[in-house]
Amino acid sequence: MDLAKLSYHPKWIEYKLLSKEMFEKQLNELNKGEDTNTEHYRYRTFKSLIQNYPKFTDKQVNNFIKLVQLDPDQTMAGSALSDFIQSGKLNPNQYLYTKQAFIEFGEWTKKVIDRIENPNKESFNKDFCEQLEVEINKQLPQSTDMKLSKYWCGGIEHQYYSKKYVNDNKNLNTRMWIGNGGRTEYETTIEFGKYALRRHARGTNMIDCIPTSNIDEWLEIDSNKKMIKIKLK
């Protein structure tokens, strides 16, 4: 692969984070003149890495940061690292390590860090998760699914997701503890309806976007896969 044509650093290959198929597809787009800005292709690859991994090893975190630091377009690279640190997929030690690299990109990073470390300023915060837990427990006994009607929600994890991430994806992923004793961990997807998207974009309270009846219409559970889907208004 002639990496120089898209300004990829050789370490992309060394770290095995750029496939031949992806590179050739991007090169074909470049040759067709669809987009002549090579940083756009690299940014797409950074974003695909963030989206395709449910979580990261310490080595993968280190490699991602190194590629960001080596990129010839540091404006784009800063955006990629911003997406990475806001992904919600880093453990506490990984977050602190990434934060040190991120703040080197300038004063603008302080606002991003503040939103991450002060999540109660955001719409998807502790208060929202606690109220969602209350509403779920209030409605569970009315479920037509006899098994679900005996469940209890023991908590919902809240973490920071950027407004752009939620607007682009129309959902976010978190964890819920539910079951007969409210202790079984479920991977949880919260889908945002038009009202919730609007509130989240404005950074305003989303509590009234939680449905208050017919739990079977807005909460889907797969007990075998330990997965839950919640649909907000």
**pLDDT tens, residue by residue, 96-148:** 999 999 999 999 998 888 878 876 567 888 888 999 999 999 999 989 988 88
pLDDT for 88: 86
171 compared with 163, residue with greater pLDDT: 171
Indicate if 126 and 57 belong to the same structural domain.
Answer: no
**pLDDT on residue 35:** 83
Does one domain contain both 112 and 139? no
| Whether residue 68 has pLDDT greater than 80 | yes
Alpha carbon of residue 111 to chain centroid = 18
Domain end residue (candidates: 56, 84, 117): 117
Residues 155 and 196 in one domain: yes
In a shared domain, residues 217 and 204: yes
Question: Of 160 and 191, which is predicted with more confidence?
Answer: 191
Task: Tell me which of 182 and 225 has the higher pLDDT.
Answer: 225
Q: Could you tell me if 109 and 132 lie in one domain?
A: no
- The neighbouring-strand residues paired with 61 are none
User: What pLDDT digit, counting tens, does each position of 1-15 carry?
Assistant: 789 999 999 999 999
Last residue of a domain, which of 84, 117, 150? 117
The predicted-structure confidence for 164-195, as pLDDT tens digits, reads as follows 888 899 999 999 999 888 889 999 999 999 99
SS3 1: coil
Q: pTM for the full model?
A: 0.55
190 and 128 in a common domain: yes
The percent of residues above 70 in pLDDT, for the chain, comes to: 99
Backbone φ and ψ for 35, nearest 5 degrees, come out as -160, 115
Domain identity same for 17 and 76: yes
| pLDDT tens string 31-42 | 998 788 899 999
* pLDDT band at residue 231 using 50, 70 and 90 as cut-offs: very high
The reply to whether 98 and 126 lie within a common domain is: no
Tally of structural domains, the chain: 2
Do 94 and 153 sit in the same domain of this protein? no
Euclidean distance between CA atoms 142 and 150, whole angstroms: 10
Torsion angles phi and psi, residue 13, rounded to 5: -75, -40
Mean pLDDT of 56-67: 96
Is it the case that residue 59 has pLDDT exceeding 70? yes
Q: Of 77, 93, 117, at which residue does a domain stop?
A: 117
Say if CB 43 and CB 80 are below 8 A apart: yes
- For residue 67, the model assigns a pLDDT of 97
Residues 147 and 159 in one domain: yes
Structural domain containing residue 86 = 3-117
User: Is there a single domain that holds both residue 185 and residue 158?
Assistant: yes
Tell me what pLDDT residue 64 has. Answer: 97
- Picking from 132, 122, 119, 87, the residue whose alpha carbon sits closest to that of residue 199 is 122
What is the pLDDT of the chain when averaged over all its residues?
90
Same domain for 113 and 84: yes
